[in-house]
Amino acid sequence: MKLRRSALVATVALVAAGALNAVPASAGHPERPADLSLRALGQRSDLAIGTAVDMAALDDTTDPQYRKLVAEQFSSVTPENVMKWEVLEPTQGTYNWAPADELIAFTKQNKQRVRGHVLVWQNQLPAWLTDGVNNGTISDDQLRDILHKHITDTVSHFKGKIWQWDVVNEAASDPWDSPSTIHYKGFWTQHLGGGIIADAFRWAHQADPKALLFYNDYNIEAFGDGGPGDKTQFVYNMVKQLKHDGVPIDGVGSQGHLGTQYGDYDALQINDTLNRFTDLGLDVAFTEVDVRSQMTAGVQAGDSNEINPRLQAAAADFSALMQGCLANRRCISFTVWGFTDKHSWVPGWFKDPLEGMATLYDENYQPKRAYNTLKADLIFAGRR
């Protein structure tokens, strides 16, 4: 009796996974886990697997593979750029919701969740806003009202459609900044002070009380020495204080932009960091994972002696983040920042020396070792 019941449960689970992921059911053969998509495997552990989506690539009819893989492999998406302020409100008072709305419609069709990105960030702001502040036509009081309105309008427009919002992004400095003691950095806190962070969460919560509200940052995958130059400690102290003050913050997003040249972390360090955040009563998520490598002349010439160690090191880094996440029930999503080297921010950003190879699939949509390693991690974690 017991056996038959679990067989039924397994069949139902497979049918559901097959329906969502268009994996052909092979009659008479049990589906092999390795043939399932990332999203189907993540589902076994209640973990959403996400990707950032580049709208130009999604709309490119000459590149159907991009759209196909977004739908097939991922259960969550993050707009890479189209929910940023410069795109949403290029001229003051005139909103351009269309690209983001198009992505939301796509996710609805494909039964995916959405991470909203981003409400408060110092980059990709419209010129009318930064120019107005610089030339004194926008006062600090007006700036505060403008931010309040932006958050209210944006969160209200997408109300009910966003699972997690990145409310505040990258507000903490880095140890290489001056002064090296970690501090608030960037346009918003410079003009409006650190208190604007709590206000942003309150305003977002008012506009959509059901959305999960996140603080999101990079280089917070592991704690350092706990001293004044430890960025993870700074973010930890900040979110602890926000919780203590009753600010409606639900989670911390750890971006996870790693590089094979740094060595980086193991799964236990990663898990320990996540545990410390979740002990505060917060959820956690990896929000922008990629692992870049230096594109030496040898790599570019196709020398496998140089390429293979990079593919292996990248797989190990992806896996450390995934295993650390899987070992904490409150790690609710694992999002990669693009899934193919054909569309990745890395080579455009790191030019000297050139870096690349940062995603799960190569430029021809061939899955790399990192893709299989993530699947293996999910298979082991989801074993019943």
**Residues catalogued as catalytic:** 170, 288
- According to the binding rule CB under 6 A, does residue 80 interact with ligand 9MR? yes
Asked whether the beta carbons of 42 and 48 are under 8 A apart, the reply is yes
The number of beta carbons lying within 10 Å of the beta carbon of residue 265 is 19
Spell out the alpha helix ranges (H) of 158-219.
187-192, 196-207
- DSSP secondary structure of 89-147: -SBTTB---HHHHHHHHHHHHTT-EEEEEEEE-SSS--HHHHHHHHTTSS-HHHHHHHH
Residue nearer to ligand 9MR on the CB measure, 225 or 352: 352
Structure tokens at 319: 């896996």
Residue 351 found at the interface with ligand 9MR (CB under 6 A): no
Specify the residue, 102 or 306, whose C-beta has the smaller distance to ligand 9MR: 102
- Is residue 335 part of the contact set for ligand 9MR (CB under 6 A)? no
How far apart are CB 32 and ligand 9MR at their closest, in Å?
A: 34
Q: Can you tell me which of 31, 288, 341, 355 binds ligand 9MR, judged by CB under 6 A?
A: 288
Rounded to the nearest whole angstrom, what is the least distance from the CB of residue 333 to ligand 9MR in the complex? 16
> Closest Cα partner for 284 from 250, 260, 320, 319?
250
Residue 345 lies near ligand 9MR (rule: CB under 6 A): yes
**Total residues at interface with ligand 9MR (CB under 6 A):** 8
Tally of residues, the chain: 384
| Spacing of C-alpha 215 from chain mean position | 11
Burial readout 223-238 (b: 16 or more C-beta within 10 A, e: otherwise): eeeeeebbbbbbbbeb
User: Which of residues 208 and 288 has its CB atom nearest to ligand 9MR in the complex?
Assistant: 288
CA dist., res. 176 & res. 182, Å (int): 9
CB of 161 to ligand 9MR, least distance (A): 19
Helix count and strand count (H, E) for the chain: 16, 10
Q: Which of 123, 237, 241, 304 binds ligand 9MR (CB under 6 A)?
A: 123
- Give the residue closest to ligand 9MR by C-beta: 345
Least distance from ligand 9MR to the Cβ atom of residue 25, Å: 36
- On the CB side of 258, CA atoms within 13 Å amount to 29
Non-local CB neighbours of 110 within 8 Å, separated by 6+ positions: 70, 71
Q: Which is nearer to ligand 9MR, 254 or 271 (CB)?
A: 254
Angle at alpha carbon of residue 102, lines to 170 and 203, rounded to 5°: 40
Instruction: Please select the residue that binds ligand 9MR; options are 51, 81, 219, 373, rule is CB under 6 A.
Output: 81
Q: Quickly count: other Cβ atoms within 10 Å of residue 202's Cβ.
A: 17
Residue 165 as a binder of ligand 9MR (CB under 6 A): the answer is no
Least Cα distance to 343 among 39, 32, 60 occurs for: 60
* Window 226 to 285, contacts with ligand 9MR (CB under 6 A): 255
Evaluate whether 26 touches 39 at the Cβ level (below 8 Å): no
Residue 124 in contact with ligand 9MR, rule: CB under 6 A: yes
CB of 123 to ligand 9MR, least distance (A): 4
Residue 258 beta carbon to ligand 9MR: minimum distance, rounded to whole angstroms: 13
What is the pattern of x (binds ligand 9MR, CB under 6 A) and - over residues 176-215? ----------------------------------------
Task: Kindly state the smallest distance separating residue 16's Cβ from ligand 9MR, in Å.
Answer: 32
> What residues make contact with ligand 9MR under the rule CB under 6 A?
80-81, 123-124, 169, 255, 288, 345
